[in-house]
């Protein structure tokens, strides 16, 4: 289960619960990057959740950085932007 809570504009708290354990993450999202990825079609919370689903399909919750900007995902997974925009 992925829970996303908006803390402030451009900052989200994410809790991932699976297999009896959880991890907590803080994610930053630049408004321009949000527009580039979504065109405003979904909320920031939905984008962050979708991004975590993308990450969890590729790595464990323990491998996800505890605090990061959404832009860094493409450094580790070059296909990120293409998959998220689809």
Q: What is the pLDDT of residues 64-83, one digit of tens each?
A: 999 999 999 999 999 999 99
pLDDT for 17: 95
Q: What is the pLDDT of residues 19-36, one digit of tens each?
A: 889 999 999 999 999 999
Q: What is the pLDDT of residues 34-59, one digit of tens each?
A: 999 999 999 999 999 999 999 999 99
pTM of the model: 0.94
The two three-digit tokens of residue 81, written as one number: 């932007």
CB 41 within 8 A of CB 85: no
């Amino acid at each position: 289960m992925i829970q996303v809570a908006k803390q402030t504009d451009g900052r989200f708290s994410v809790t991932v619960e699976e297999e009896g354990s959880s991890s907590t993450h803080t994610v930053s999202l630049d408004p321009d990057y949000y527009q580039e990825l979504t065109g405003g079609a979904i909320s920031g919370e939905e984008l962050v959740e979708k991004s975590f689903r993308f990450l969890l399909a590729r790595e464990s919750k323990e491998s996800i950085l505890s605090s990061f900007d959404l832009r860094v995902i493409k450094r580790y997974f070059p296909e990120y932007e293409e998959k998220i925009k689809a």
